[in-house]
Structures are given as C-alpha cells and as structure tokens.
Amino acid sequence: MVTTEYFCTVLKEKGFDFFTGVPCSILKDVINYLANDPQVPYIAATREDEAIGIATGAYLAGRKPVVLMQNSGLGDSISALTSLDILYEIPIFLLISWRGYGGKDAPEHLIMGEVTTRLLEDIGVPAVILPGSDVEETISKAVSVLERKKIPIAVIVRRGVIG
Amino acid sequence: MKRYEAIEVITKALNGDELLVSANGMLSRELFSIRESPNNFYMLGSMGLASSIGFGLAYNLPGRRVIVIDGDGNILMNLGSLATIGHFGPSNLIHIVLDNEMHASTGGQPTVSNTVNLEGVASAAGFLVVKKVSSSKDLHTAIEEALNSKGPSFILAKIERGEKDVPRVSYEPIHIKSRFKEVIEQTK
C-alpha cells in the first residue's frame, strides 16, 4: 500500500497538472487530496464522459490531464473514449477504481467488475492494474505508453492499494 | 434564420482569433464550409461534449476567447455541463446553442427544447450573460454584447429547420487536433 500523498506526488512529478472526475469511495482520499491541493486544479464533473470532454479541452490547451472515476463510470465513457480521445489521439491518464473486483462487492458492481479490464482491452485502451508496491515504476511505464501511443491509458486501482 | 445563416452571423461577428469548438453532425459540416480555420475544433463524434471541451479550453486559457457552437440535442445530452460551467465561471467562454428543437442531422426527431427553457437552465446554473434570440440581427447583437462582457455567456438562438448540402469535414481527426493545438501553442 502507498500513501495518498505519495501517490499524488508521483502523479504531479510525472507532469500531470490538471485533474477532473467523478468520485468513488476507493479514490476518496486521492480526490480529497487533489481537491485541496493549491498546486493543481481539480474540476468536479457531473458525469465521467463530461470529465473526459473537459480533460480533452485541457489537453488541447497544453495541460497533462488525469480523469478519475469508478469503473461504473467507464460505461458512461465509452463513446467519449472511442469517438473523441482515441479517434483524435488525445492522451488522457485514466485512474479507474475497480469495484466488483474478484466478484465480491455490492450487486450493482459485479457485472462491470467482471468486464472492466476486458472492456478497456476491447476498445483499445491500454490498462494496468496498480500493484501494492513498485507504484512509481508502474506509473512511469504507463506514462511512457501514454506518450508513445497518444491515446488514453488506464491505471486500475483496487481497494486498499492507495490509503 | 436557418443554421447556415446563424453560423455565418457568428463567424462574421468574430475577429478570427477566437478558438471555436463545434458540435458534431451538420453543425460542424456547415462551419467547415463557411469558415474553415485551424482555430476550429470540429467535434465529429462524442455527442454532447462540445461544451465540456470548450470549458476545458477556456478554464486553462484565460487569455483566449473560446466559442462553443452547440445544438439543442447536444446540450440536452450534457445539461450537467451547464452546471459545471456556471459553477467554475470561465469569463472567456461564450456558449451558443443553435436550437431547431430537433435532431436535424439524424432526420428531424423532436427534442424537448420546444418546452424546456434552456436559457433559464443556463441562467440558474450561473452564466452571467444569457440571451435568447431568433433573428440574425439579434444574434449578431447578442454576440457583440457577449464579446464585450465578462462571461460565461450563453446565447440561445432559435433557428428554423433546414440545412445546406455541404460536404463532410474532409480532414483527419488527428490533423484537426494537431493544427488546433499548434494554433494555441503559437499564440500563447
């Protein structure tokens, strides 16, 4: 497990300077930290696809954006990812929490929990599951894929990995 | 006033330095035919998100004027965007909705904007300048007023059905993005 402060510092050190998204209990500490961080903006979006639209505008404006969401919001994001960010080659760093991981969660999370990684693979978004250790190395690799492929990439966060 | 005429009025009222984001469908095609420019970001898919892209631009480029040319079907898909824009209040954003009360690009299926006052939603959300117009003369005046005011501004332009037979946007999406980003970098 890594601390919220460490994780957010790694993201900022990698150059990410614009954050938007929709909350999830797994990401609550990260989002609260970013929302209170005077160094970076955090824009509370109303939906996940709106957050992707905002992040796209931010990227065009020269920012390096991160979109934070629960995997339930991935369903709302498919059109924005496929017909905007992948189509135009907009590199957005997606931080997606994984509800329904391992089939153990509230019933509303089980179907999306089962298909989350498959869904990302199907639409062509490279995804990596954040391990409990080697976090900085994982983020570095994800950033190099982001910069090389110029499309969104997803880092998936299970409960308890960032605390 | 038809959409083509409204887009002509909009582009004539601007000085050409503004960044434009146009909604998908016939709207982007007509803008492409009327005033092609690297300052135009033609949104081809992702229906509903023109205002969100415009907000992301305006928030991060406070020195630039950002114009979103949207449709009623588009903004009805993303009304939450009006709340976000109203809350964060980028003063340099002008959001124009060309409202023909239908999804014209897909065959004229009705939207609900014949009864829902979109200008009232924008006003309640916190847009500082809100105008509703239905003639080209009033649209021109409203844009001039918005350009001279602290926004965010919302202009609802009621338009009649009808489109010109114009070609699709012929540029690759990656090209549209790259030159738009270049314009921003060069003029920073």
Residue A97 belongs to domain with CATH number: 3.40.50.970
B78/A47 touch (CB, cutoff 8 Å), yes or no: yes
- Gap between the Cα atoms of B74 and B178, Å rounded: 24
Query: Which residue of A44, A57, A83 is in closest CB contact with B52?
Result: A57
* Identity of the residue in B44, B45, B60 whose CB atom sits nearest the CB atom of A61: B60
CA distance B142 to chain A (A): 25
Does the complex come out with an ipTM higher than 0.95? yes
Look at B188 and A84 and tell me if their CB atoms are within 8 Å.
Answer: no
Residue B175: how many other CB atoms lie within 10 Å: 12
Query: For chains A and B, what is the number of CB pairs under 8 angstroms?
Result: 112
Domain assignment of residue A67, yes or no: yes
Given a cut of 80, whether residue B142 has pLDDT beyond it is yes
Residues β-bridged to residue A43: A20
Question: CB–CB of B176 and A88 under 8 A?
Answer: yes
Q: Is residue A143 part of a domain?
A: yes
Of B46, B56, B80, the CB nearest to A46: B80
Q: Which residues of B touch A57 (CB under 8 A)?
A: 21, 52-60
Beta-carbon separation of B60 and A84 below 8 A: no
For residue B175, give how far its alpha carbon lies from the nearest alpha carbon of chain A (Å): 8
Chain A residues inside the 8 Å CB shell of B21:
57
- Judged by CB atoms closer than 8 Å, whether chains meet at A57 and B177 is answered as no
What number of H helices and E strands is found in chain B? 8, 8
Task: Answer whether 0.90 is exceeded by the pTM.
Answer: yes
Chain A residues with CB inside 8 Å of B80's CB? 45-47, 50
Does residue A163 belong to any structural domain of this protein? no
Is residue A152 situated within a structural domain?
yes
Distance CA B180, CA B41 (A): 7
Domain assignment present for residue A162? The answer is no
Among the partner-chain residues A18, A50, A59, the one whose CB lies closest to the CB of B80 is: A50
Structural domain contains residue A101: yes
- What the block records as the tokens of B83 is 């709340």
Backbone angles phi, psi at B91, to 5 degrees: -75, -15
Residue A159 — very low, low, confident or very high, per pLDDT cuts 50/70/90?
Answer: very high
Q: What is the pLDDT of residue B188?
A: 75
Q: What is the pLDDT of residues B157-183, one digit of tens each?
A: 999 998 889 999 999 999 999 999 999
Domain assignment present for A12: yes
- Angstrom CA distances, B76 to B44, B79, B89, B131, B134, stand at 17, 5, 20, 18, 19
B interface test, pick of A88, A92, A123 with most B CB neighbours within 10 Å: A88
> Total domain count for chain A?
1
Q: Which domain holds residue A75?
A: 4-157
CB B146 within 8 A of CB B153: yes
pLDDT digits (tens, 9 = 90+) for B35-86: 999 999 999 999 999 999 999 999 999 999 999 999 999 999 999 999 999 9
Residue A51: per-residue pLDDT? 98
Whether residues B180 and A60 touch (CB distance < 8 A) is answered with yes
- Domains in chain B, ordered, with CATH? 3-186 (3.40.50.970)
